[in-house]
Amino acid sequence: MRADFDAPQIAVLDYGIGNLRSAEKALQHVGADAFLSSDPQNVAEADAMVLPGVGAFGPAMAALRDSGLATVALDFIETGRPFLGICVGMQMLYEDSDESPGVRGLGVFGGRVIELPDTVKKPQMQWNQLKVIRSSPLFADLGESPWMYFVHSFAPVVTADTIATCTYGTEITAASARGNVSACQFHPEKSSESGLALLRNFVGSVQAVRN
């Protein structure tokens, strides 16, 4: 239920993959008027957009495209309004993934998503410490090395868009940003106070843009 219309309205894209309501509820908890929707017109009118995701890259991209929300997401990004990708939602913002050869991502970020090394247990299902390497409003007041919770077997390579890394067998991208688009490989909604603080920072940046 959308009760607070003074709060920034944040659309959580509902394309039928996984438990997307946890992201919606976490955003509501930190002050957003967040709503889960698959209606293109409804989500296009929001102040910001969030693309969560779980599971495999290929099926997630297929569901996003089949729902018509891939085009909606790209059009929304072009407006300059804030956009946040989470977990597989982050991976889909890249060009492609080793998990699903031949499947194209949205291509917002350059580079590809690669499998974690065979030297570590997969998936990484644990807390890991970030290394913030570039300033971002997402990490305001979180320090240089916040702990976040990860559940994944694939992650983006480190590129010029990387704003935070973590080490799990090798150095991988934990968060990225370019212009109005930010993304995180970890699950902020499962990362206790640090994750909620990051989401609160995102909501604050949406409020600042709206005002």
Kindly report the three-state secondary structure assignment for every residue of the chain.
CCCCCCCCEEEEECCCCCCCHHHHHHHHHCCCEEEEECCHHHHHCCCEEEECCCCCHHHHHHHHHHCCHHHHHHHHHHCCCCEEEECHHHHCCCCEECCCCCCECCCCCCCEEEECCCCCCCCEEEEEECEECCCCHHHCCCCCCCEEEEEECEEECCCCCEEEEEECCCEEEEEEEECCEEEECCCHHHCHHHHHHHHHHHHHHHHHHHC
Which residue is catalytic, options 99, 166, 184, 187?
A: 187
Indicate if 187 belongs to the active site. Answer: yes
Indicate if 144 belongs to the active site. Answer: no
Indicate if 87 belongs to the active site. Answer: yes
Which residue is catalytic, options 24, 152, 184, 189?
A: 189
Which residue is catalytic, options 24, 87, 99, 152?
A: 87
Annotated catalytic sites, by residue? 87, 187, 189
